[in-house]
Amino acid sequence: MSRLGKKPVAILDGVKVSVANGSLNVEGPAGKLDYMLRPEVDVQVDEETKSALVTRKGDDRISKAMHGLTRALLANMIVGCKEGYEKNLELQGVGYVCNLKGTTLSLRVGLANELKKEVPEGLDVTCPDQTHIKVRGCDKQKVGQFAAEVRALRKPEPYKGKGIRYVGEYVKIKPGKAAQK
């Protein structure tokens, strides 16, 4: 039995969870999310105790894997619909600038051309200043994926530390070739 999977998920105040036709629907003040359940697992919602319990139908390997995964996804959906998720990025380097034009994020990060990244639907991306990007949304996976794609456009390099990094991320700086003597 999955240790994580057998724990009930607490449903937060203001969040509504429903299961219909193999689809899990979560609604809250921050947004609405849907997830198609795998046939190996089932979700029961208890309105009295304000919790949801994920059970599996078999004891084969895939059922065990989907048991814990579905429980974790449900917990993330509930938190996301209640509070939302946020990732903060910062640009480090001389002349590195970001700005938002409609739904397109434009980045000037030391390359010959300006990089453009389209913001996916369901995400709220803001640039509080020219060197910071805030990505917000109710879907944890979408927020993390978009932040990772933006960071991958210009990863921090190890000699001067220039590039796009998460706020608070530590980049180990290597000594240059002058230190080898």
**pLDDT per residue as tens digits for the range 99-110:** 999 999 999 999
pLDDT band at 6 (very low <50, low <70, confident <90, very high): confident
Segment 139-164 shows an average pLDDT of 95
60-83 per-position pLDDT tens digit: 999 989 999 999 999 999 999 999
Segment 147-159 shows an average pLDDT of 95
Residue 181 pLDDT > 70: no
Percent of the chain scored above 70 by pLDDT?
A: 98
Residue 157 pLDDT > 60: yes
- Residue 167: which residues within 8 A CB-CB, separation 6 or more? 88, 89, 90, 132
- For residue 37, the model assigns a pLDDT of 94
* CATH code of the domain containing 36: 3.90.930.12
- Does residue 176 sit within a domain? no
Average pLDDT along the chain: 92
- Does residue 42 sit within a domain? yes
Same domain assignment for residues 128 and 149: yes
83-97 per-position pLDDT tens digit: 999 999 999 999 999
Residue 1 pLDDT > 70: no
- Does residue 135 sit within a domain? yes
Examine the fold and report which residue of 39, 56, 82 is the final residue of a domain before the chain moves on.
82
User: Total structural domains in the chain?
Assistant: 2
Domain extent for 73: 9-82
HSE, side-chain direction, 13 A CA sphere, residue 145: 12
- For residue 177, the model assigns a pLDDT of 83
- For residue 5, the model assigns a pLDDT of 80
- For residue 82, the model assigns a pLDDT of 94
- Does residue 2 sit within a domain? no
Task: For CA atoms 142, 154, 133, 165, give the dihedral sign.
Answer: positive
**Residue of 101, 146, 102, 140 whose CA lies nearest to 120:** 146
Same domain assignment for residues 142 and 70: no
- Does residue 4 sit within a domain? no
- Does residue 124 sit within a domain? yes
